[in-house]
Amino acid sequence: MVCDPKRGFSLDPRLAIIPAPMPPVAASQRTSVLTPDARALLERRARRLRRMSVIATTEAGSGHPSTCLSAADLVAVLFFREMRLSVADANDPANDRLVLSKGHAAPLLYAAWAQLGVLKEEELGTLRRLTSPLEGHPTPNFPRSEAATGSLGQGLSIGLGMAVANRLDKSQGRTFVLLGDGEMAEGSVWEAASLAALIKADRLVALVDVNGLGQSQRTARGHDTAWYARVFEAFGWRAVEVDGHDLDAVAQALESTRQSDGRPVALLARTLKGQGISWMADQDNWHGKPVPADKLASALAELGMGEDGSKPLPVHVPATPTPCQPSPKAGTLETDPPYKTGEKVATRNAYGAALARLGAADARIMGLDGDTKNSTMSLDFMKAFPDRFVECFIAEQNMVGVAVGLAARGRVPFGSTFAAFLTRAYDFVRMAAVGKANLKLCGSHCGVSIGEDGASQMGLEDLAMMRAVSGSVVLYPSDAVSTERLVREAAGHDGVVYLRSTRPAVPVLYPASERFPLGGSKLLKSSPEDKVTVVAAGITLHEALAAHAELAKAGIPVRVIDAYSVKPLDAVGIAKSLSATAGKLVVAEDHYPEGGLGEAVMGALPAQVKAFRHLAVRGMPRSGAPAELLARHGLDAKAIVKAVRELVSAT
């Protein structure tokens, strides 16, 4: 994608349409795509997939066999006829890939990989056990998962991210996403569909398993594949309706996705949930229920016994993919950030500049935004690296999903929007953590300090939200130097990292050579006589420094700590200051009181705190000038001075 300054991406045909490796299938060939032998083998493989899915879930005592049965024929043709990939090298960028968006069909995925030889069929007997890599929904514990799924409606975004990476790698690999029809109700699917059509992600294929049944009732559209086809087409896709249990039809439809007219392709496959077992097929109340042990024999009999049933099939060797260029390698940036102490720079501006500089040193860095790039300042990165920037428009879920897909393909994606609007994508961030995705997010315009736009635009729960993501790192820089350093730290850390940036310009506090390791803090002010420890970050750190100056004049020395690493928190460093100040603590944060910096400190240092004043945004904020709002919510220097004085006089 080359950037068009007005549209944020290009439709450059050299990049958009990669020639397909095989010639298109003529309409006259429709009934003869499969030879009788090939068809017979695919039938056996599909039967085997069903059998293994049913046995594994019955042995586990839980799981979703019925949803495996509806998709088994699609998966059989996909894996054992259509996909080209190196089984030995899962990371080959030339590979075709499958993202299992309907993650509850995990046993089917595991059964397919068993036929490709990467696990033994017996291992399916460990499904859902504490010690097994084969979890109830796919996770990185099974390395061929491609993505953690199980929260529905996320796979298409992730697949789109992978397709974008493939385009950059000049890979001819196709990205298949298997979706359930129930999850088509998630708007995030249509966010992905819209962007995919717009950027002509022609090597992205959505396979929709339209089995017509949700968890608790019929889906909204039942078996109306034409409805799904109309919507996909309206969004700009090519849509193909197919009988999802007709192997010939599926093979022909999948083969047709090799050719490109520039549009991504959606296959709407009419299927039956539970197909292959007469008393389960198309019946309600079989979602998430294994075949009872006493019915297993009858189920297996229907699925086919004898040689086809009990004996494993020979390992399938997929066609070799067309080689492509390797994905970019990591690079590092050694120069100091170009800031002088005292100059005024908003941390959001420092973020954009840092990203652009880092991008020059490390070709893996990518930028994404939700049409706020001139506020988050990811615009600076787009200007420098238009071909590595994806404008996702106002669709934060898809932005995060695309980033997760890019990360899965070796990129280091930084997605940015207002901190408030990242709440939109919380489920995607949560799932990124489940998938151990190397995802970086920046939320700008945090706190009441944004001022007049009012509460809807203020990020006030982002620290709570991001801290509660398993294994996450949460960073909150206070000046331009720390912002740039922390952007680099974020890029160097493998995992989910969140960086919170601020709207107003603030003075640079640190010399350019200062380092900001994850898990650290900075003791900005200290003396042997300090009475109180003041912990702050971001905008409130500047208020704390002003309070320090005022208190110094009044003869009340206090320590001031910059807690730039909110998670992991520098508990050891803060504890040292607390013991030097008789356990007296003030925490000031431009965030709601729950789950932010104050509770992080309290949770980490339970016995060390003897007296505590927690300055945070209490009550609903509103429109007003930034300084007025900091005062109204008790976060300014005056409020910090007051809190310190209370703690001192309480002695």
Which residues are annotated as catalytic?
396
- Judged by CB, which is closer to its own copies: 331, or 624? 624
Distance between CA 491 and CA 7 in Å, rounded? 27
How many CA within 13 A on the CB side of residue 150?
20
The CA distance from 546 to 636, in Å, is 9
Q: In the bound complex, what is the minimum distance in angstroms from residue 404's beta carbon to its own copies?
A: 13
* 8 Å CB contact between 526 and 534: no
Task: Give the Cα separation of 50 and 109 in Å (integer).
Answer: 11
Beta bridge partners of 418: 444
Which amino acid would we find at residue 157? S
Q: How far is the CB of 642 from its own copies (least distance, A)?
A: 17
CB of residue 446 to its own copies, shortest distance in Å: 13
Q: How far apart are the C-alpha atoms of 136 and 159, rounded to whole Å?
A: 21
Give the whole-angstrom CA distance, residue 75 versus residue 82.
Answer: 10
Pick the closer one to its own copies by CB: 25 or 395: 395
Q: Which one, 80 or 142, has the nearer CB to its own copies?
A: 142
Q: Return d(Cα 561, Cα 558) in angstroms, integer.
A: 10
C-alpha to C-alpha distance for 350 and 463, rounded to whole angstroms: 20
User: Both ends of the chain: CA-CA distance in Å?
Assistant: 64
**Which of residues 283 and 341 has its CB atom nearest to its own copies in the complex?**
283
What is the spatial distance between Cα 399 and Cα 381, in angstroms, rounded to a whole number?
Answer: 16
The CA distance from 200 to 193, in Å, is 10
Taking the complex as a whole, the smallest distance from the CB of residue 220 to its own copies amounts, in Å, to: 5
| Minimum CB–partner distance for residue 453 and its own copies (Å) | 4
CA distances from 128 to 123, 125, 131, 542 (A): 11, 9, 8, 51
Q: How far apart are CA 462 and CA 478, in angstroms?
A: 16
Query: 161: closest CA among 415, 456, 362, 490?
Result: 415
Rank residues 85 and 450 by Cβ distance to its own copies and give the closer one. 450
Residue 319's SS3 state is strand
Vertex 193 angle, CA 192 and 199, to 5°: 85
Give the nearest distance from C-beta 382 to its own copies in angstroms. 9
Which residue type sits at 315?
V
d(CA 127, CA 220): 31
Between CA 184 and CA 644 the distance in angstroms is 54
Judged by beta carbon, residue 95 or residue 194, the one nearer its own copies is: 194
Whole-angstrom distance, CA of residue 572 vs CA of residue 586 = 17
Q: How many CB atoms lie within 10 A of CB 353?
A: 22
DSSP H or E run through 38: helix 36-60
For residue 101, give Cα distances in angstroms to 155, 350, 431, 466, 574.
4, 37, 12, 24, 44
Please give the Cα distance from 398 to 204 (Å, whole number).
15
- The per-residue b/e assignment along 256-274, b for 16 or more CB within 10 angstroms, e otherwise, is bbbebeebbbbbbbbbbbb
Distance CA 432, CA 179 (A): 18
Q: Which is nearer to its own copies, 74 or 192 (CB)?
A: 192
Asked whether 647 and 639 are in contact (CB, 8 A), the reply is no
- Rounded Cα–Cα distance for residues 94 and 193 (Å): 23
Nearer to its own copies, 15 or 602 (CB): 602
Report how far residue 297's alpha carbon sits from residue 292's, in angstroms, rounded to the nearest whole number.
Answer: 10
Output the smallest distance, CB 524 to its own copies, in A. 23
Residue type, 569: L
**DSSP-H helix ranges across 493-625:** 539-553, 571-580, 597-604
The one-letter code for the residue type at 190 is W
